[in-house]
Structures are given as structure tokens and as C-alpha cells.
Structure 1
Amino acid sequence: MSSGIDEIKRITGARSLILVGFSGGGAIAANLAAARQDVLALITVAGNIDLDAWAKAHGFPAFKDRVNPAEQGDRLRVLPQIHFAGYRDSVIPLNISESFLKRIAPVRGRLVIKDEAHQCCWPMKWPTYLRELGDELPWGDAMSRKE
């Protein structure tokens, strides 16, 4: 994934990026953000960002061969981030995002809770929810920079 990002940056001429991940892609985006130096911010949408809490919530054994984003606190703590979670999401319950934020204690992080389920209708709605935050974004003008 990281080499794919490098290639996209090369093609577009971008110097930095904001990573967005939905569902299991939230874990991928968070782990990439922890590993890279060019990430300005992290956004997750119904993201599985605490694998331990998710496995426990669903009665599954703990993941032994996966990097849990919630254990990347030292790297992610300083990164501006927004996590969207849904009250009606039974796949990635609200407590997954809450657990992640409690574990990493971000300096500039925000949890946005909406009345959404997992399958409908995050892909269409999250950009609108992000725009609605306006001045409340935890990264200031990072979204408007042309990098």
C-alpha cells in the first residue's frame, strides 16, 4: 500500500496527503499514517481502528498477526484526525472508535457520531459531514493546501 501511495505521489506531484479509510480500510489508513512521514491528517469512516476491542465486541479471538492501530499511539498521537462512527453500526460499534481515541489520546483528534449503520450510507454522506465541521476541523487549513 505504501509503495502505491509513493507512486500516486510521484504521478501527481503531491508532497503530502490525508489518508481516509472506511471499515477495515480505517485500520490500513491508520497504520500507514503511523508509518509514513508525509501524512497531514487521518480520517476514518466506521473504521476498525482498535482490532482488540473489535475482536472482543464480536467474541472473536485476538488478532496475533495484525498491527493494531490502537497500539500506534506514539506515532499517531500528534497527527490531526477525525473519526466518524455510527450509533446504529453493529459491524464496527461506536465503542471501537472511543477505545482507539482513549488508547492513543490524540492531541488534535475528534470523534463525530452520526445516526448511521455500517452498510448505509457512509460512502455518500461522510464528505458532507466533514464539510459541516468547517472551522472545527482539528487540522486548520491542511485540507486547503495544495501539496
Structure 2
Amino acid sequence: MSTDHFDLRVWQHSVSSAGTMHVYIEGDGFAWVNRYQPSMNPTPVSSIVPAMVVKDDIAAQVIYLARPCQYVSFAERACPSVYWMQERFAPEVVAAMNQAVSQLKHETKAQKVVLIGYSGGGALAVLMAAKRQDVATVVTIAGNLDHHAWTKLHGLSELHGSLNPPDFSKALQMVRQVHLIGGKDSNMPVSVYQAYRAAFPPQADITEQVIPNFDHQCCWMERWPSLLHRYLN
């Protein structure tokens, strides 16, 4: 799918027209070869998100939305590496993802949108919701909800040029949010979520669930049907 800034890879499954559209947003993918060497292509080597999409049996339309530069040919449209490194949450990234969602909503005649983001896709889900008026719920799974807190935690360079979700707390106060966190997730520990939650008043419609034996990848895919029905059905 072409947007003003990027070509985005989309997979779509429709059960019926209208109804609710679940949009799954991919994580950061293969952004780095190691701590010091960025990859040449951020397309995920392996991802749990497509398997979660397949297990979604409650939405009228289920969408997999890849991040900029993933699963696309750079020969057709240039995609600078800054968009999977420090500018992964740049304003133009958020705008392109929202442009794709709006087009898909129009095509499917969806009435409501639910944004579901994994890891770095969780940050984008929140940032996208802050710019929309049609989001029923935002769900994040091991989400990078405060990249300032995350880079500080891991001793990484700050993501200059990227928007940070807590800065949009005012626009998100009326949006229902569900944040799922792995109790054994050393990459996105509960402290990253807590830094985000501190930006909101106590009465905000925010639910968090720390699942003790889960880490950054295990066992979201296997448990997704039960989590999906618990929080979205």
C-alpha cells in the first residue's frame, strides 16, 4: 500500500463488512545485527505477530500492518535506514501508518478501529491513536511505551527524531488502553510501562497486566486467543 511517505506491506483478512477492524502493528524487526551494527533491511527474520493475527477470531476485519521499510523493495522506493533506527517513531512514520489505516477502514467500511502493537509497534499504536478519533481500544504487547526510559535503561543512544508516547497523554486520556507486559521481559520490563503510566491521571481508562512467566516473545502467540477474548471480546 502506497502512502505519502512510504510503501507499507499489508495483509488483510475479512470475515464480514463493517464491524470492528483489528490492526496489528509489527515490532521493530531486524533493526540491528548487534548492539553496534545496524542491519541493511529491517524485515523481521521471525515474528510472532503474523501468528497472532491468524488466531484472531473476533474481528470483522483483521489487518497485519508492517512497519516502514519492512517486506518492501528498496529499489522501487528509497527507505533510509534512519526509519528503523533513531527515527523509527518519527512524525512521518505515524502519519503514514494512520493514512494506511484510514484507507483500509474506508475500503472495509469498518465502524471501529482497534490498534494492537507488539514491542516497538506498541509505541506506534499509542502514537497513532493520539492522532485519531475512531480508536475504540489500544492494546500493546511488550510495548516500548517510553523510549526515553527504555534507552536509558539499556544504555542506548536516544531515538532523536522519534515521538515519545508519554508526551501525548492529554490526547490519549479518553482512549481505552490495555497494556500486556511479560514479568520476565528484560527488554521491555514493567519499569518502561510505569514511566509511561506516570504521565496519566489515576482515573485514565488504562489496564495493565503483568504476566509472570512471559518474556519478550514467550508466550504471547500461544496464549493470544485467551488474552484476546479476555480484553477485546
Q: TM-score, normalised by structure 2?
A: 0.54
1:84 to 166, 176, 180: 180
Q: SS at the partner of 1:103? A: coil
Taking the aligned partners of 1:4 and 1:61, their CA distance within structure 2 comes to 30
Q: Give the aligned partner of residue 31 of structure 1.
A: 127
Is 1:120 aligned to residue 218 of structure 2?
A: yes
1:50 to 125, 146, 149: 146
Taking the aligned partners of 1:40 and 1:27, their CA distance within structure 2 comes to 17
Q: TM-score, normalised by structure 1?
A: 0.84
Q: Give the aligned partner of residue 169 of structure 2.
A: 73
AA aligned opposite 2:220: W
Is 1:101 aligned to residue 101 of structure 2?
A: no
**Displacement after TM superposition at 1:126 (Å):** 3.4
**Displacement after TM superposition at 1:61 (Å):** 2.8
Unaligned runs of 5+ residues in structure 1 are: 134-142
Who wins on radius of gyration, i.e. which is larger?
2
Q: How many residues align?
A: 135
Flag as ranges the 4+ runs of structure 1 deviating above 6 A: none
Return closer, same or farther for 1:46/1:64 CA change in 2, 3 Å cut-off.
Answer: same
Higher helix proportion (structure 1 or 2) = 1
AA aligned opposite 1:119: Q
State the identity as a percent.
33
User: Which range moves more in the overlay, 1-10 or 17-26?
Assistant: 1-10
Taking the aligned partners of 2:125 and 2:139, their CA distance within structure 1 comes to 8
User: Which range moves more in the overlay, 25-34 or 11-20?
Assistant: 11-20
**Displacement after TM superposition at 1:129 (Å):** 2.3
Unaligned runs of 5+ residues in structure 2 are: 1-96
RMSD after superposition: 1.6
2:111 to 5, 9, 15: 15
The superposition leaves residues 109-128 of structure 1 with CA deviations (integer Å, 9 ceiling, x where unpaired) of 11101020102221332341
Q: SS at the partner of 1:72? A: helix
The superposition leaves residues 76-112 of structure 1 with CA deviations (integer Å, 9 ceiling, x where unpaired) of 1221111000110011111111211112336111110
Return closer, same or farther for 1:65/1:89 CA change in 2, 3 Å cut-off.
Answer: same
Q: Give the aligned partner of residue 2 of structure 1.
A: 98
